[in-house]
A and B are shown apart, each in its own frame.
Chain A
Amino acid sequence: MTTPTQPNSNLSAYLSHELRNALACIHQFGNILVDGLAGELTGEQREYVSIMLENASRIRSVLDRSLDGVPGQPEKCTNKIERVSKLET
């Protein structure tokens, strides 16, 4: 049964999923550049990529606070590793 909030929830879930995938790629390749895995960067190039990464992190924060927290959405998931921690004990 469709509720009035369902279309918004579905849209938010879709946007969150798509934006997170895109952000994952920006973070991955930005860090690959900063870490020199694709060749050494100059100081200026490193600074620019770092600015790009900082802004990607800002988008992630906005995403965490907004799209994942709208009514009707499941509680935001954190990157939990308790399961692995239990294995250590």
Chain B
Amino acid sequence: MPNKKILIVDDDPDVLQGMHVRLKANQYDICLAVDTFSGVAEARRSEPDLILLDLGLPAGGGFMVMERLKMIPSLAIIPVIVVSARDGLGNQKRAFEAGAKAFLQKPVDDNQLLAVIRQTLGEPAGAKKPTLQDQGAV
């Protein structure tokens, strides 16, 4: 079974790298984008199974990314999890109204992030896919 693909959209390169390492270690394929435009473009190109989306992005912001995704039928069905440092129920409510499946405020606990990702992707809770090492491949 192929790995699920996750697109991470965040303008902080350290956050991108940290999430990349963590999710790759959990056998997800990762693609990255750093702003509004490249977020939508990368979603079109790679058609991920899920998008982790920051709100404070250059050239528009996370809400604009969600608006653009909604306008493209093949991308409108991709679940979005908002991961933002922004505070307030206002942002959370707006994110849900824009179609987000979950809202996580940074700093996010890794286990919680993985649990929400698995839940959103319909994977069994706590399930860890076998690594190459587990399979004796390395």
Contact = CB atoms under 8 A, between A and B. Distances in A.
Contacts of B109: 27, 79
B22 A28 contact: yes
Interface residues of B, number: 33
Interface residues of A, number: 35
A46 interface: no
Nearest to A57: B107
| Most B C-beta atoms less than 10 A away, residue of A18, A60, A74 | A74
Contact of B89 (A21, A60, A77): A77
B134 interface: no
Interface-centre pick from B15, B86, B106, B112 (highest chain A CB count, 10 A): B106
B105 interface: yes
A27 B104 CA distance: 15
User: Which residue, of A21, A56, A73, has the highest number of chain B Cβ atoms within 10 A?
Assistant: A21
Contact of B101 (A13, A21, A60, A83): A83
B15 A16 contact: no
Contacts of B59: none
B21 interface: yes
21 contacts: A17-B56, A17-B87, A20-B85, A26-B107, A27-B109, A28-B15, A31-B110, A32-B21, A32-B22, A37-B25, A56-B107, A73-B88, A75-B89, A77-B86, A77-B89, A77-B91, A80-B92, A80-B102, A84-B120, A85-B119, A87-B119
